[in-house]
Amino acid sequence: MSILVDNIGELVTNDPALGDGPLGVVTRAAVVVEDTRVVWVGPSDRAPAADERTDLAGRAVLPGFVDSHSHLVFAGDRSAEFAARMAGQPYTGGGIHDTVAATRRASDEELLATAARLRAEALRQGTTTIEVKSGYGLTVEDEARSLRVAFEVTPETTFLGAHVVPVEYADRPDDYVALVCGDMLEAAAPYATWVDVFCEQGAFDADQSRAVLTAGMAQGLGARVHANQLAPGPGVRLAVELGAASADHCTHLTDADVDALAGSSTVATLLPGAEFSTRSPYPDARRLVDAGVTVALATDCNPGSSYTTSMPLCIALAVREMGLTPQEAVWAATAGGARALRREDVGAIRPGGRADLVVLDAPSHVYLAYRPGVPLVHRVMHNGVWQ
């Protein structure tokens, strides 16, 4: 079955060979989809026939958003902690332990219901690819079941047993690292694509982080790192050294960190929802792009420091607070996310790619930042199916 998606006012392909500028923009465009794939992209007046036709009345179409960093498997609520923080208490990351306790108490069904609800919420806002981490179980069984739940909502799953040292290991963190690298990894690996570590003061140092990442890589997992969120540190350079797909947060970077990223295949994934929700200084996306670093935007959706699934919010924040142009922010939220997950089939609209389209109730991609907070997503196609 083929569908002609016609009368697109502005089509963002992210393929400069197909249209104008870095976003490969085609105006008065059409896309033909067959089953789950895009098979034709170009001007409306040259579009081939198809079994069905959808007329978009001049709306803008973008590739589905690629949210390459989220924590959707959890239980509990931290709205009181958020309110306290907005009343002046500093963010320390300590509230993670509350979520760990609630997650361990929850049934598999409760965890899946929450993850599926948030996955559906993200899809309605245009997110067609999402990465989901474990990291609120922190026992062998709870990390394995967290990843089984994650795998029910996405194939992009990440083992984050090294999220924080759980309270029962507080005085022997190296024993916890050994558990993560041993039995926990073994139980988690069948359900995981990636391994991640929170490399930060108060979490895991450079040696511990390297141990976790290399153990995961030896099991065939790709590496990603929570790096340089709260302070400068070794996370970004470790990510580059190990060839990680992504260094995430990148809020506090030295010039050496920026140079290391620019000379590497590691994407800098910026998570402005975290700075928004912790009232913290934003990362300097302008500095990274100007240095030649590949930048992605993601939500970091989690109950403590960024409880949003909205990629349009992240785009608006990146433009207003982090120095990106609308064009750069849209690229980072689509093609950038695909790079951060090392995916070739998503993040662009081109023949052979997955048919993931976001239709905006607006004439151009600029409106995502120009009209912040407005539900601009008119319709979403995921895997060739209108949602």
Write out the binding residues for Zn ion, residues 77-116 only, by CB under 5 A.
none
State the nearest-atom distance from the C-beta of 179 to Zn ion, in Å.
Answer: 21
- Burial class for 89, CB neighbours closer than 10 Å (0-12, 13-18, 19+): exposed
State the nearest-atom distance from the C-beta of 80 to Zn ion, in Å.
Answer: 21
38 phi and psi, to 5 degrees? -80, 135
What tokens does 230 get? 């709260």
Size of the site for Zn ion (CB under 5 A): 1
Distances 337 to 141, 189, 191, 234, 253 between C-alpha atoms, Å: 30, 23, 21, 23, 20
State the nearest-atom distance from the C-beta of 233 to Zn ion, in Å.
Answer: 15
**What is the Cα–Cα distance from 342 to 373, expressed in whole angstroms?**
30
The interface region with Zn ion, picked from 179-187, 280-288, 295-303, 374-382 by CB under 5 A, is 295-303
Query: Which x/- pattern, by CB under 5 A, does the window 180-219 give for Zn ion?
Result: ----------------------------------------
* By CB under 5 A, residue 300 contacts Zn ion: yes
User: Which residue's CB is nearer to Zn ion, number 300 or number 328?
Assistant: 300
Closest CA to 306 of 93, 112, 66: 93
* By CB under 5 A, residue 328 contacts Zn ion: no
Across the beta sheet with 127-133, what order do the strands follow?
Answer: 65-67, 127-133, 156-162, 194-199, 222-227, 246-249, 267-270, 295-297
State the nearest-atom distance from the C-beta of 175 to Zn ion, in Å.
Answer: 24
* By CB under 5 A, residue 275 contacts Zn ion: no
Closest CA to 245 of 310, 135, 341: 341
State the nearest-atom distance from the C-beta of 71 to Zn ion, in Å.
Answer: 6
**What is the Cα–Cα distance from 206 to 193, expressed in whole angstroms?**
22
State the nearest-atom distance from the C-beta of 309 to Zn ion, in Å.
Answer: 13
User: Which residue's CB is nearer to Zn ion, number 142 or number 300?
Assistant: 300
For the CA atoms of 42, 43, 48, 51, the dihedral, rounded to the nearest 10 degrees, stands at: 90
State the nearest-atom distance from the C-beta of 22 to Zn ion, in Å.
Answer: 28
Write out the binding residues for Zn ion, residues 40-79 only, by CB under 5 A.
none
Helices then strands (H, E): number in the chain?
15, 16
3 state SS of 33:
strand
* By CB under 5 A, residue 284 contacts Zn ion: no
User: Which residue's CB is nearer to Zn ion, number 156 or number 300?
Assistant: 300
Using CB positions, name the residue nearest to Zn ion. 300
Binding-site ranges for Zn ion (CB under 5 A): 300
